[in-house]
């Protein structure tokens, strides 16, 4: 913790409850974002109250604004990743009053002046600036879980990996993780801003899928063998077809999305194609660490990845790339959601400044 953060901790004044504050809410699924007031009446022993500085937008936020797939009680506040200052504690050991933190929540609430979060999912942000700290949430943990835990990137050191959508929220973290673990990275994108970001991230080989044949480019680069590792996180059928076709014999194809999620989104299952090429499909899914009894005992392993992000940032090894900052305004957030749906702003991370 910096001297400034330490001073803030010592000088912090506890906020009284009940507390009423402004929030950017979804009145009901499909309705535009609205500025309304919310109230927090009390905290559980294992919770903290955080005055939100920034909250990042994930791809699922605009989708949940249209269809409330999480069954959040309306009116509901989205925003699952945040940074800010602890202004009240529930009682149990956890973040301290005045501590500068970042964290995640399974119930949303980040697009507001204040948020209640579980101690277990809040950590000191260290030297990470608040905007960047708010981006080390779901997108980061998705990439970390897929690449480091499920994919065991270390075992692929020195080999090729193909990451379609390598400049997106999840993709630009996966691209950096691949480089950190010594893989040679091939990444594709179509927008000029995305291609520029991939070059800024020093990707080994960048493919413009709007101008180049992805499969032909990768096969040429690998002498027709394909790549030992693919990380497919785009949820785009055309990308699935290309990425499944370039897995090398004996290679691994890491895919975001459980079979049920694939069916729900109407997405093709490329498992037969991958297996026919002699590859193996692995499924990345950070959500299962909170709901699946098989993975719940390993939840701390996932949270350790979030702590690792702070450490790696301080060492200059990984960095969230903030490409847009949205003001705390209903119309501005609605416009950002529309941009995600249209695919025009989903480059790096987009964050909402809540203070």
The residues spanned by each domain of the chain are 3-136+320-353, 139-288
8 contacts 98 by C-beta, under 8 angstroms: yes
What does the pLDDT read at residue 212? Answer: 98
Question: How much is the average pLDDT of 98-125?
Answer: 96
Q: What is the percentage of the chain residues whose pLDDT exceeds 90?
A: 87
What does the pLDDT read at residue 10? Answer: 47
Residue that has been written with the tokens 């009145």 in this structure: 27
Superfamily of domain 3-136+320-353: Medium-chain alcohol dehydrogenases, catalytic domain (3.90.180.10)
What does the pLDDT read at residue 11? Answer: 57
Q: What is the pTM of this model?
A: 0.94
What does the pLDDT read at residue 9? Answer: 46
Closest C-alpha to 97, from 122, 132, 134: 122
Closest C-alpha to 196, from 321, 340, 56, 351: 321
Q: What is the percentage of the chain residues whose pLDDT exceeds 70?
A: 97
Between residues 201 and 5, the one the model is more confident about: 201
Closest C-alpha to 161, from 227, 249, 233, 222: 227
Q: What is 139-288's CATH number? A: 3.40.50.720
DSSP SS3 for 88: strand
Residue 51 and residue 308: Cα distance in Å, rounded?
A: 24
pLDDT digits (tens, 9 = 90+) for 6-47: 444 445 789 999 999 999 999 999 999 999 999 999 999 999
Question: How much is the average pLDDT of 323-346?
Answer: 97
Q: Is the pLDDT of residue 290 over 50?
A: yes
208 class by beta-carbon count within 10 Å (0-12 exposed, 13-18 middle, 19+ buried): middle
What does the pLDDT read at residue 308? Answer: 96
What does the pLDDT read at residue 291? Answer: 87
What does the pLDDT read at residue 335? Answer: 98
Q: Which residues contact 169 (CB under 8 A, 6 or more apart)?
A: 58, 59, 139, 346, 348, 349, 350
Question: How much is the average pLDDT of 287-313?
Answer: 91
By DSSP bridging, strand 227-232 and strand 247-256 are: parallel
Q: Is the pLDDT of residue 86 over 60?
A: yes
CA 132 to the chain's CA centroid? 12
- Average pLDDT value over all residues in the chain: 94
Tell me, letter by letter, the H, E, C secondary structure of 139-203.
HHHHHHHHHHHHCCHHHHCCCEEEEECCCCCCHHHHHHHHHHCCCEEEEEECCHHHHHHHHHCCC
What does the pLDDT read at residue 1? Answer: 47
Residue 175 and residue 325: Cα distance in Å, rounded?
A: 22
Closest C-alpha to 197, from 334, 324, 61: 324
Residue 263 and residue 119: Cα distance in Å, rounded?
A: 34
260 confidence band (pLDDT: 50, 70, 90)? confident
For every residue of 268-286, DSSP letters joined together read: ---HHHHHHTT-EEEEE-T
CA 9 to the chain's CA centroid? 28
Enumerate the H helices of 39-137 as residue ranges. Answer: 60-66, 130-135
Residue 237 and residue 85: Cα distance in Å, rounded?
A: 41
Question: How much is the average pLDDT of 251-270?
Answer: 90
Q: Is the pLDDT of residue 72 over 80?
A: yes
Closest C-alpha to 354, from 334, 328, 335: 328
Q: Is the pLDDT of residue 262 over 90?
A: no
Q: HSE, CB side, 13 Å, CA atoms: give it for residue 110.
A: 31
Between residues 299 and 183, the one the model is more confident about: 183
């Amino acid at each position: 913790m910096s001297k400034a953060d330490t001073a803030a901790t010592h000088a912090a004044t506890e906020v009284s409850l009940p507390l009423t504050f402004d929030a950017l809410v979804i009145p009901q699924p499909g309705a535009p974002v609205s500025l309304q007031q919310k109230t927090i009446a009390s905290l559980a022993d294992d919770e903290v109250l955080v005055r939100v500085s920034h909250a990042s937008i994930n791809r699922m936020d605009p989708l949940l604004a249209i269809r409330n797939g999480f069954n959040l009680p309306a009116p509901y506040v989205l925003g699952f990743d945040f940074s800010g200052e602890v202004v009240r504690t529930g009682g149990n050991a956890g973040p301290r009053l005045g501590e500068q933190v970042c964290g995640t929540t399974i119930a949303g609430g980040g697009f507001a002046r204040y948020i209640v979060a579980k101690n277990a999912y809040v950590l000191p942000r260290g030297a990470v600036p608040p905007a960047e700290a708010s981006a080390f949430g779901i997108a980061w943990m998705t990439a970390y879980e897929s690449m480091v835990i499920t994919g065991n990137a270390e075992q692929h050191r020195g080999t090729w990996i193909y990451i379609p959508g390598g400049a997106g929220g999840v993709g630009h973290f996966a691209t950096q993780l691949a480089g950190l673990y010594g893989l040679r990275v091939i990444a594709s994108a179509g927008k000029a801003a995305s291609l520029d970001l991939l070059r800024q991230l020093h990707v080994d080989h960048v493919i413009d899928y709007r101008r180049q044949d992805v499969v032909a480019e990768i096969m040429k680069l690998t002498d027709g063998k394909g790549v030992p590792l693919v990380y497919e996180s785009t949820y785009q059928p055309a990308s699935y077809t290309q990425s499944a076709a370039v897995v090398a014999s004996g290679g691994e194809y890491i895919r975001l999305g459980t079979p049920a999620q694939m069916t729900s989104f109407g997405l093709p299952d490329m498992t037969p194609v991958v297996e026919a090429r002699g590859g193996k499909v692995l499924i990345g899914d950070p959500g299962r660490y909170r709901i699946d009894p098989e993975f719940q005992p390993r939840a701390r392993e996932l949270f350790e990845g979030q702590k690792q992000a702070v450490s790696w940032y301080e060492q200059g090894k990984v960095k969230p790339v903030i490409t847009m900052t949205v003001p705390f305004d209903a119309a501005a957030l609605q416009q950002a959601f529309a941009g995600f749906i249209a695919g025009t702003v989903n480059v790096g991370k987009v964050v909402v400044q809540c203070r």
